[in-house]
Amino acid sequence: MTSDKKPEGIVLTPAQLKSRNQRNTAIGLAVAFFAVLFYVVTIVKLGPGVLVRPL
């Protein structure tokens, strides 16, 4: 039995890892942008009266 351990599964090259990280960052930024967009659109549609609370 040999002691050399080979990684199991798919091993990505450094270029593939960099590409994956860039893609994940772009997806994360897009999700954050759409979350902020929905928040802003909701506040605009509700109007400024939603912030006025009775004492």
User: How many domains are contained in the chain?
Assistant: 1
The helix/strand/coil state of 36 is helix
Residue 35 CA to residue 27 CA, distance in Å, equals 12
Domain-embedded: residue 33? yes
Within a domain: 9:
no
Select the more confidently predicted residue: 34 or 47.
34
Residue 7 located in a structural domain: no
Residue 31: inside a domain, yes or no? yes
Domain span including residue 21: 14-45
Handedness of CA 17, 23, 24, 26 (dihedral sign): positive
Distance (Å, rounded) from C-alpha 18 to C-alpha 24? 10
Cα–Cα dist 40/27, whole Å: 20
- Do the domain assignments include residue 6? no
Instruction: Give me the percent of the chain exceeding a pLDDT of 70.
Output: 91
- Residue 1 pLDDT exceeds 60: no
Sorting pLDDT into bands at 50, 70 and 90, what band is 31? very high
Domain assignment present for residue 55? The answer is: no
pLDDT at 54: 76
